[in-house]
Amino acid sequence: MTWQPTCSIETLNARAELYAQVREFFSERSVLEVETPLLMGHGVTDRFMKSMRVSGVYENAGFLQTSPEYAMKRLVAAGSGSIFQICKAFRLEESGSRHNPEFSMLEWYRVDFNHWDLMNETFELLTKLLGKRARVNYSYQEAFEHFLNLNPFQISLDNLAKISKESLGDLPDNLEKDDYLSLLFEAQIEPKLGINHTIAFITDFPASQSALAKIDPESPLVAQRFEVYIEGYELANGFNELQDAEEQLRRFEADNEWRKENNLEDIAIDDDFIGALKSGLPQCAGIALGLDRLLMIKQGLNSIEQALTFPTFKTNL
């Protein structure tokens, strides 16, 4: 029989309870709950993310959103103040024991916060939801030094390739420095983060992995971006949000240039999002947190399917 949900009724209840606690947390802090469309006219230029397309709605193509980020920043730029949203997000070809192509996300933006303030608030929220845990902080560089005894900024590509191949088995050819660093981080650092009743914050990612974060004005190699890890799961990703429309546009154009060189299709840049930045996005920090993974951690589940009612594919149980 395959009609039944893959999660237990206990997990259904736990999800409802989790969402109620999240709403209570933000209500106490006067952060407004909002809703933005899942279906919009623009996708993302992100080099490695694939949006799902919907035909027959917009003239060219409609896109199921990979995150509510652009729409929520448009609200912040329009004067909403601090906002949060619990919504679905969609990413093509992301499937595995920790990924489902359709997943649930908690995303929030705090006006007048920087990423340090937002980390404090994230820690408060997670200890409310999961119970008492100690906080652990590493910069990206410290994490590599602590767990792998290497400096990710100074190590040469050759050395990095050699270390990666020795410890990670057979790897694809022609990987870039960030690929090796990411694979090493995933295999050898991530499983050790947030264990023994801790919540681990990784800060100061390389500028090459800045996405929509500001670059640190005092250290141009570093982006004001952080990630949160619990029980070896990457749970959330936060930014001190980039306000500079020109810089954002340059990054999107560079993405499309890269896509062209790598024979990927050009993705139209979201003019409305750029327009919102041009009109002025207030200083804010924002974060996206995976709710299915949070539920897995809370309930001690091994596979994302055990957190979902009806997963896209039933292949990972």
Interface residues with other proteins (CB under 8 A) are 46-48, 93-99, 168-172, 178-179, 181-183, 185-187, 190, 205, 209, 211, 234, 237, 315
Q: Among residues 98 and 293, whose Cβ is nearest to other proteins?
A: 98
Q: Among residues 183 and 245, whose Cβ is nearest to other proteins?
A: 183
Q: Least distance (Å) from other proteins to the CB of residue 199?
A: 19
Sheet holding 62-64, edge to edge: 39-40, 62-64, 52-54
Q: Among residues 170 and 261, whose Cβ is nearest to other proteins?
A: 170
Task: List the structure tokens of 153.
Answer: 């900024």
Q: Among residues 97 and 243, whose Cβ is nearest to other proteins?
A: 97
Q: Least distance (Å) from other proteins to the CB of residue 170?
A: 4
Phi, psi torsion values for 89, nearest 5 degrees: -135, 155
Q: Which residue spans within 51-157 are E strands per DSSP?
A: 52-54, 62-64, 83-90, 102-111, 134-139
List, in sequence order, every residue forming a beta bridge with 84; answer none if it has no partner.
33, 108
Q: Token pair 């980020």 is at which residue? A: 69
Query: Would you tell me the crossing angle of helices 115-130 and 291-299 to the nearest 10 degrees?
Result: 40
How would you class 291 by CB atoms within 10 Å of its CB: exposed for 0-12, middle for 13-18, buried for 19 or more? buried
The CA distance from 57 to 189, in Å, is 44
Q: Least distance (Å) from other proteins to the CB of residue 33?
A: 26
Q: Among residues 16 and 211, whose Cβ is nearest to other proteins?
A: 211
Q: Least distance (Å) from other proteins to the CB of residue 239?
A: 11
Q: Least distance (Å) from other proteins to the CB of residue 189?
A: 10
β-strands 83-90, 32-33 pairing? parallel
Q: Least distance (Å) from other proteins to the CB of residue 174?
A: 9
How would you class 130 by CB atoms within 10 Å of its CB: exposed for 0-12, middle for 13-18, buried for 19 or more? middle
Three-class DSSP category at 174:
coil
Amino acid at 188: Q
Half-sphere exposure of 235 (CA within 13 A, CB side): 26
Q: Least distance (Å) from other proteins to the CB of residue 94?
A: 6
Q: Least distance (Å) from other proteins to the CB of residue 19?
A: 25
Q: Among residues 134 and 211, whose Cβ is nearest to other proteins?
A: 211
Q: Among residues 179 and 247, whose Cβ is nearest to other proteins?
A: 179
Q: Among residues 172 and 220, whose Cβ is nearest to other proteins?
A: 172
Task: List the structure tokens of 129.
Answer: 């939801």
Rg (the chain; Cα; Å): 20
